[in-house]
Amino acid sequence: MLFRLLLAIISVMSIFLILELALRLFPPAPGPTPLGDRSSFFYMPDDDCRHLWSNGKTNVMRIAVVGDSFAAGAGVQVDDRYSERLERLLNMRAGLPPVEVRPYAKHGTSTFQQITLLDEALKWNPNLVILGICLNDMEDWANPKELASWRVRLLSEPPRLLMHSRALRWVYLKMMWAECRRMEHRYFHRLYEPSYSGFKRFSEAIEIMNDKCSKAHTAFVPVIFPLLSDTDNFQKGTYAFEYAHSAIHKLCEDLNIRYLDLLTAFRDANPDRLAVICGFDPHPNEIAHRMAAEAILKFLLDAGLVAPGYRPTEHASAMEQYRKWELAIKRLDTSTPSGKSTNGSTKIH
């Protein structure tokens, strides 16, 4: 028994020494900084230079976007926000009334706090209101101490004892990141408990907003963003926050509210390419804002909320050619064991 214990200890120490030696002889190559492609400044246009298609016009179709920092465009240039991109897409055809998309957003707010933003938007008499929903919009900031007790602890530096060992520091960081992810998942599960006050407030806010828009004869469309952090992909079965989307779906369906879930549009995307700073700032970057705007455009056209004439002229991108090429390769690989067609030739159309 003692011999086996000593053998196990020696084995673990040997593995540790090999790992330590490998990390010292072959340290990980420094990669590009995630800040390398981020803007140092944000450029704010003058009021007269906004909404150039609708300036001075009277026959304008108005779309209001209500939300938090996602709708405000935290971390991206003003003209990269999904509201501005949607406005650009809806003004690509001549001979139609111009479209103005105006955001009414405030950083750090939950949906029930955005009712006042909706009231402000409705004074503008919009034809349509888009409500941007993030998965943390159930946070009840009337009870900040409760939220603070649930929040994920920030990852601290390794203890000094570990600073002299690259292997121990590597193991420590891996364990801490895994624990942070587990705590983050636990936090979101708490937000979506039906008994939680924040979930109740969110549900009431959606109903209130829908009623206000109905009385104003304004279409109301909630748009749900997936979580861009603490997830490896958006695929079914591996995306950890499907339950949150399902809870919002059920709420909207019970209230007979049309909604758009951007998770469908993001399914095949890589989360690491969609956040402003992966692992630090989970706000959507310009790629995610573009994807959101394109998905919203398609939804509005398909739902008849904007006239068919607003559909921009479409040209196939290089991505479409890549998909065709990828599909042809798959067919080639599965057609015959040799990868050849039945007449012995190899063709890709």
State the CB neighbour count (10 A cutoff) for residue 170: 16
- The residue-averaged pLDDT of 51-65 equals 93
Rg (CA), the chain: 25
pLDDT at residue 346 tops 80: no
How much is the pLDDT for 220?
98
pLDDT at residue 301 tops 50: yes
Higher-confidence residue of 32 and 208: namely 208
Q: How far apart are CA 77 and CA 43, in angstroms?
A: 7
pLDDT at residue 339 tops 50: no
Q: Which residues 6+ apart lie within 8 Å of 177 measured at CB?
A: 155
pLDDT at residue 278 tops 90: no
- The residue-averaged pLDDT of 288-313 equals 97
Q: What percent of the chain has pLDDT over 70?
A: 86
66 — phi, psi (to 5°)?
-105, 140
* Amino acid in the structure at residue 289: H
pLDDT at residue 338 tops 70: no
- In the numeric block, the tokens 């159309």 are attached to 349
Higher-confidence residue of 1 and 298: namely 298
> pLDDT tens across 193-244, in order?
989 999 999 999 999 999 999 999 999 999 999 999 877 889 988 999 999 9
How much is the pLDDT for 321?
76
Question: Quick one: tokens of 32?
Answer: 């590009």
> pLDDT tens across 158-186, in order?
666 666 677 777 777 777 777 777 888 88
How much is the pLDDT for 263?
96
How much is the pLDDT for 158?
60
- The residue-averaged pLDDT of 325-333 equals 79
208 — phi, psi (to 5°)?
-65, -45
Over the chain, what is the mean pLDDT?
A: 86
How much is the pLDDT for 19?
67
Higher-confidence residue of 236 and 125: namely 125
